[in-house]
Structure 1
Amino acid sequence: MITCPDRLEVVRAADLEEIGVPRRTISRRCAPGGPWRALLPGIVLLGNGVPTDEQRGRAALLHGRTDAVLTGTYALRRHGLEKLPGEEEVHVLIPASRDITDVGFVHVERTTRLPRPHLRGGLPVAPVPRAVIDSARRLTSEDEVQTMMAEAVQRRFCTPEMLADELDRGRTTGTAMPRRALTPLLAGAKSVAEADAWRLWRRSGLPAGRWNVPIYDVHGRYIATPDFWCDELALAWEIDSYRYHTSFDDYRATVARNARYVAAGIVVLQTLPSRLRTEPGKVADELQAAFRTAQARPRPNVLLKRVA
């Protein structure tokens, strides 16, 4: 059996009429139990199965017409991001002068800043920073926004600065929460857990520090890259998740890292990510205790930059 590519299976009813298919035939074939399916008003799937993700995207583009660009969560899935909210809508950008509205599973946004699209699987999708911010403006969960942003940054699809630039250039509606979610990432945090830790440290009143910076001993030997580093006191804070220690190799690497901390005279505090939310007061007390311990001993000779 020969099947058509997805791009040929989704067509405008008007285009079918142009090649000689009568309107009544289209209607009959799209009726319940028929061989075709109406995906959106005037847009037909030449099959009666559940539409694929790609077919839904192509239908949204046909609805938006020429120059339409897919954005939001749908576009991010096409880019390859995984930690995304389960959103069923397909978000499409169209020129501001075009009078087209939402319909079915398609959310239409008119814009004067139509991005230059990237092709992913033959579909025009917005660049990652634009798609992240377009999605973030419509979400209600700060955790979902932060998770999405953190994945985009951690997997190097974009930088926090690129997300900040997109926020500054776009419309202001719905940007308060994305700005809050982005602030820890701009400070150097690379995950939701590190963002939680950043907020707790800010509330602790302890000296400022840096996130994810490599530390070396006086001979230039690498020690570790702590999640948080207070250089004033040579204090490291590691947010150690169980899921990163599910293999013997992961566990062995963590033990070796902690041994290097001890050998270098660094005070290190390890915290489970879940405790940042379930026991923030206790974690803050532990931070204060680690601070006092680090403060009470001479600072070891460890450096942020390798000395040749």
Structure 2
Amino acid sequence: MTTISLGGDGYLRARDAAAQGLSVRQLDRAVSAGLLVRVGRGVYAPPADRWPSDAHRLRVLAMDNPAGAVVSHASAATLHGLPMLRPDLSRLHLTSPSSDRGYKRKTRHLHPGNVAAADAVVIDGVRATSVERTAFDVARTSPQGFAGALAVLDGALRCGADRSRMEAHGREPRTGVGVAREALRHADGLAENPGESWSRAQLILNGIPIHRLQTEVFDEHGRFVARPDFDWVDDDGKILVVGEFDGLEKYVKYLKAGEDTDSALRREKERESRLQDLGIIVVRWTWTDLCTPKRVPNRVRIQLQRAGLL
């Protein structure tokens, strides 16, 4: 999936956006949707609560670890490249077997506990917890609760993590393990980003059934039409409703070599029209919608009722 490239200082300037095929209109649309923040004339940045992991990863690589300590939790997640939903990266996280109680200071959080040899890896010269141990630790301690747990576990499965190993961590009596276990029960590596995971978490918590993720849709002639994020079917397996989370990537997801973003967005609109021509209801939402309590579940529920699925 193509993504928007920020400058080395973490900002996106209008001239650089234009070089990537993004017009001022598209940038304004991204600001309205809460995907970018305008920090100055012609200068944009991701919202402060998104994409902070690169800077944190550099801090992890630069720090001096206490003897025997292993980088863990959210800090290890940045080393593994695991997606997290609005993580708190204000502190560097370590786990040490030599600490009975651990401590939390302004820039460092030391967690007490053992890390088995099978649960430790070395990444860029830094000893850290394995992807399975890391994902489960983040899941059980995420400030975002069930949604945060689902996001990191979805991402871990997408990266090839072993579900059974994460389930084994769920059998250990530790803080937050119940939430993490429940999230793991719903985790699916087909989810492509934290926004899709957050969407699913909201639907699950509001009692809305989810049928499938990322299913290819074809027309009556067998021609590919789309691969929506979510779909709901009738008793005969016919798709009646699809759901699409429009994150920042959707602005450039459909770019082909040599075309601008306007062309890609026109093709995306045509794609939606083709789905509607098949009698499929298309429901869309953004980060801003997800930040408004119950907006997405209510929107989906109305369309499922309209289709006779609820």
Residues 154, 189 of structure 2: 8 Å contact kept = no
User: Which residue of 109, 115, 136 corresponds with 2:139?
Assistant: 136
Residue in 2 aligned with 1:275? 289
Give the one of 187, 205, 228 matched to 1:226.
228
Q: 1:240 to 1:124 in 2, by over 3 A?
A: closer
Letter of the 1:148 counterpart: V
Counterpart amino acid of 2:277? A
Once the two structures are superposed, residues 164-221 of structure 1 have per-residue CA deviations (whole angstroms, 9 ceiling, x without a partner) of: 4244343343212323444443496444443454355457777652122222234432
The C-alpha deviation readout for 1:114-156, integer Å capped at 9, x for no partner, is 43532211222221111122233334332544443444445x2
CA contact 1:241–1:272 (8 Å) conserved in 2: yes
Output the CA distance in 2 between the equivalents of 1:72 and 1:203.
25
Pick the aligned partner of 1:54 from 35, 55, 61.
61
2:278 aligns with 264
**Deviation of 1:259 (Å):** 2.7
The aligned residue for residue 245 of structure 1 is 251
Tell me, yes or no, if the aligned pair for 1:75 and 1:131 is still in contact at 8 Å. Answer: yes
Say if 1:144 and 1:221 are closer, same or farther in 2 by CA, change over 3 A. Answer: same
Q: C-alpha distance in 2, partners of 1:134/1:283?
A: 28
Give the superposition deviation at 1:223: 1.9
* Worse overlay, 69-78 or 203-212: 203-212
Q: Is the 8 A contact 2:241 2:303 kept in 1?
A: no
Question: 1:78 is matched with which residue?
Answer: 79
Distance (whole Å) between structure 2 residues aligned to residue 206 and residue 144 of structure 1 = 19
Deviation at 1:285, TM superposition (A): 5.6
Partner of 1:174: 176
What's the offset of the Cα at 1:293? 4.4
Q: Which residue does the alignment assign to 1:298?
A: none
The TM-score with structure 1 as length reference comes to: 0.59
Q: 1:263 to 1:294 in 2, by over 3 A?
A: farther
* Contact 2:115/2:129 (8 A) holds in 1: no
Gaps of 5+ in 2: 1-57, 253-260
* Structure 1 segment 1-308 matched on structure 2, within 5 A: 53-56=60-63, 58-60=64-66, 62=67, 64=68, 69-81=70-82, 83=84, 84-94=87-97, 102=102, 105=108, 107-111=110-114, 113-142=116-145, 143-154=147-158, 156=159, 158=161, 161=163, 164-186=166-188, 189-199=191-201, 201-202=203-204, 209-232=211-234, 233-241=238-246, 243=248, 244-245=250-251, 247-278=261-292, 280=294, 284=298, 287-289=301-303, 291-293=305-307
For residues 65 and 297 of structure 2, the distance between their equivalents in structure 1, rounded to whole angstroms, comes to 50
Contact kept, 8 Å, 2:119 with 2:129, in 1: the verdict is: yes
Q: Which residue of 1 aligns with 2:55?
A: none
- Aligned residue in 1 for 2:24: none
Alpha-carbon distance in structure 2 between the residues aligned to 1:79 and 1:150: 14
8 Å contact kept, 2:60–2:92: no
Contact 2:155 2:193 in 1 (8 A): yes
Are the equivalent residues in 1 in contact too, given 2:215–2:227 (CA < 8 A)?
A: yes
Q: Is the CA contact 1:72–1:134 (under 8 Å) kept in the aligned structure 2? A: yes
**Do 2:281 and 2:303's aligned partners in 1 also have CA atoms closer than 8 Å?**
no
Q: How far apart, CA to CA, are the structure 2 residues paired with 1:134 and 1:204? A: 25
Residues 78, 200 of structure 1: alpha-carbon distance in 2 compared, 3 angstrom cutoff: closer
Please say if residues 71 and 129 of structure 2, whose CA atoms lie closer than 8 Å, have aligned partners that are also in contact.
yes
Overall identity of the aligned pairs, in %: 18
Q: 1:275 to 1:122 in 2, by over 3 A?
A: closer
- Change in Cα spacing, 1:203 to 1:288, as seen in structure 2 (3 Å) is farther
Gaps (5+ residues) in structure 1?
Answer: 1-50, 296-308
What SS class does the counterpart of residue 278 from structure 1 fall into? coil
Aligned length: 234
In 2 relative to 1, CA 168–200 (structure 1 residues): closer, same or farther, beyond 3 Å? closer
Tell me how large the CA RMSD over aligned residues is.
Answer: 3.8
